[in-house]
Amino acid sequence: MAMRFAFLLLLTLMTFNATADDARFLERDVTVQGETLHYRVFVPDGWTSKRTWPVVLFLHGSGERGSDNAKTLSQGLPPWLRTHGKDFPAVVVIPQVASGAYWSGKYEEAAIKALEASIDEFHGDRQRLYLTGLSMGGFGSWQIAKDHPDLFAAAVIICGGIEHPPRLESPSHVDGVPDGVDPYAWVASNIGTLPVWLFHGSDDPVVSVEGSRGMHHALEARKKEVRYTEYPGMGHGVWENAYATPGLWPWVFGHVKAQ
């Protein structure tokens, strides 16, 4: 009986802590094509309207799709923020894609609309907007970087790629790449001067490492600013390592777009 009570108490405390953590991620929504879509916004400690703030747009992977506005907090940057958010100097916008969808069309529009709303509400600095995503969100980051080449000051793309032409069963690809071209070269030529830091595991069984290698080579060939970190022997879930990389966030926030 005592053990059962202790277990229930532990479960209650865990639930309370998760709820308290999630409370740091404010709930918001936007309307796109007549549909209300929800997103979260992480607001840093010490936020004040007396100054402007960097804003990061985070795109989740396929496992976090849905309409609950909660699964988006389970992987990647949001869990990292739970531990390190006290010292994180930026607002983070966290939209969500519906089950079966990906970061294109309506959901790309919703992500940009959520970003714009957050810039207005939380005094975002338009010269310090940043883009990051993992897995399907890595593909989505290339999509948004291609469609909005002058919007972001830097991007961090984790285990993403291009995949052109897309496989029918795959939710991860970049729309708008013409047929008959080198997709890596074409995307690299259509993201403006965006600096990018890429991360990938060499043994990724979900998203081929060739996607990141191809973009790295294409960006280097065009003299773009690019860094690439490949983890030898690691599989798909490298985002914990990536977001904890020493020097990553100083590199990100060190980029500011010209007025």
Torsion angle defined by CA atoms of residues 129, 133, 136 and 141, in that order, rounded to the nearest 10 degrees: 30
For the stretch 213-256, pLDDT in tens is 999 999 999 999 999 999 999 999 999 999 999 999 999 999 99
Confidence at residue 171, expressed as pLDDT on a 0 to 100 scale? 63
With bands split at pLDDT 50, 70 and 90, how would you rate the model's confidence at 154?
very high
Q: How far apart are CA 165 and CA 180, in angstroms?
A: 10
Q: Which two tokens stand for residue 143?
A: 């999509």
Q: Please give the mean pLDDT across all residues of the chain.
A: 90
Confidence at residue 17, expressed as pLDDT on a 0 to 100 scale? 40
Q: Is pLDDT above 90 for 5?
A: no
For the stretch 45-98, pLDDT in tens is 989 999 999 999 999 999 999 999 999 999 999 999 999 888 899 999 999 999
**Portion of the chain with pLDDT greater than 70, in percent:** 88
With bands split at pLDDT 50, 70 and 90, how would you rate the model's confidence at 121?
very high
Q: How far apart are CA 142 and CA 40, in angstroms?
A: 21
- Residue with the two structure tokens 């983890």: 231
Confidence at residue 53, expressed as pLDDT on a 0 to 100 scale? 98
| Number of other residues whose CB lies within 10 A of the CB of residue 246 | 6
More confident residue, 223 or 20: 223
With bands split at pLDDT 50, 70 and 90, how would you rate the model's confidence at 258?
confident
Confidence at residue 4, expressed as pLDDT on a 0 to 100 scale? 45
For the stretch 106-115, pLDDT in tens is 999 999 999 9
Q: Residues with Cβ < 8 Å from 241, sequence gap 6 or more? A: 199, 231, 234
